[in-house]
Amino acid sequence: MENVLIVENLTIAFGQLLAVNSLSIEVREGEILGIIGPNGSGKTTLLNGISGLYKPKSGSVIFKDIDITDFSPSRRCRLGIGRTYQVPRTFEKMTVYENVLVGGVYGASLSEKKARYKVYEILELTGLLHKKDLFAGSLALLDRKRLEVARALATNPQLLLLDEVAAGLTEAEVNEVLRIVKYIKESGVTIIWIEHILRTMMEAADRVLCIASGKKLICGNPKEVLAAEEVQEVYLGVEEG
């Protein structure tokens, strides 16, 4: 399998704090790479380093053999890296439909006509079609998460970065998110999925990376990683619930 993304010795600093500390990962085409780790371990910062929101202190990010380390977030998006935000960044006073359309027109640079067609497809897939005319601000949590994923999909990513899209949901709602993510994977999109809910990693991830204090602790098949002693120590010991 080919690597879609290679992160090499990435370090992202906030003042003295090395939130991501010389981290290296390889993401294979078509896989779901799950990322777990305690709160504050640098998961979101790593994602921000990949999507271009934060500039690294050192290291590099290679996407489809292109060194994108100095590329802006929008350039990375146009190249095929889509993302969701841990705290949804939907436009509250726009409808669900309009929110997704913005992703299609600006992110994927589609004509408005093509984007409209794509938006319907994505709304259907994410289970939002019958809510397309509601204001985003009026949605309950599951639908907000759905909309976050829908907006990211509208940018037509080859690599999709998901940041805790199942967090805070009920069992049944988590199953719905799992269904959507698996479907996206089946359509050929490579996925990096940060999630605290270990069941989602067991059920969906091909490999799991556990990070602690900005460093790679272990990376491998989900069963092995979740059972590893060092993971139990740093992660399960502090996990809530």
- Residue 14 has phi, psi (to 5 degrees) of -115, 100
Q: Which listed residue (21, 25, 36, 44) binds ligand ADP by CB under 6 A? A: 44
- Residue 110 has phi, psi (to 5 degrees) of -85, 160
Question: Judged by CB, which is closer to ligand ADP: 139, or 166?
Answer: 166
| Polymer length of the chain | 241
Q: Under rule CB under 6 A, which residues in 81-140 are in contact with ligand ADP?
A: none
- DSSP E strands in the chain: the ranges are 3-14, 17-28, 32-36, 58-63, 66-67, 81-83, 159-163, 190-194, 207-212, 215-220
Is residue 148 within 8 Å of residue 177, measured between CB atoms? no
Stretch that binds ligand ADP, among 23-31, 36-44, 70-78, 128-136 (CB under 6 A): 36-44
Question: Judged by CB, which is closer to ligand ADP: 143, or 164?
Answer: 164
| Amino acid at residue number 184 | I
DSSP 134: S
Question: Judged by CB, which is closer to Mg ion: 128, or 209?
Answer: 209
Beta carbon of residue 227, minimum distance to ligand ADP (angstroms, whole number): 21
Is residue 152 within 8 Å of residue 180, measured between CB atoms? no
- Residue 7 has phi, psi (to 5 degrees) of -105, 125
Q: Which listed residue (40, 74, 87, 230) binds ligand ADP by CB under 6 A? A: 40
164: three-class secondary structure by DSSP: coil
| Using rule CB under 6 A, residue 197 touches ligand ADP | no
Q: Which listed residue (34, 37, 88, 222) binds ligand ADP by CB under 6 A? A: 37
Q: Which listed residue (39, 74, 138, 170) binds ligand ADP by CB under 6 A? A: 39
Beta carbon of residue 116, minimum distance to ligand ADP (angstroms, whole number): 35
Alpha carbon distance 194, 200 (integer Å): 10
Residue 39: contacted member of Mg ion, ligand ADP, none (CB under 5 to 8 Å, by partner type): ligand ADP
| Using rule CB under 6 A, residue 14 touches ligand ADP | yes
Instruction: List contacts with ligand ADP (CB under 6 A).
Output: 14, 17, 19, 37, 39-45
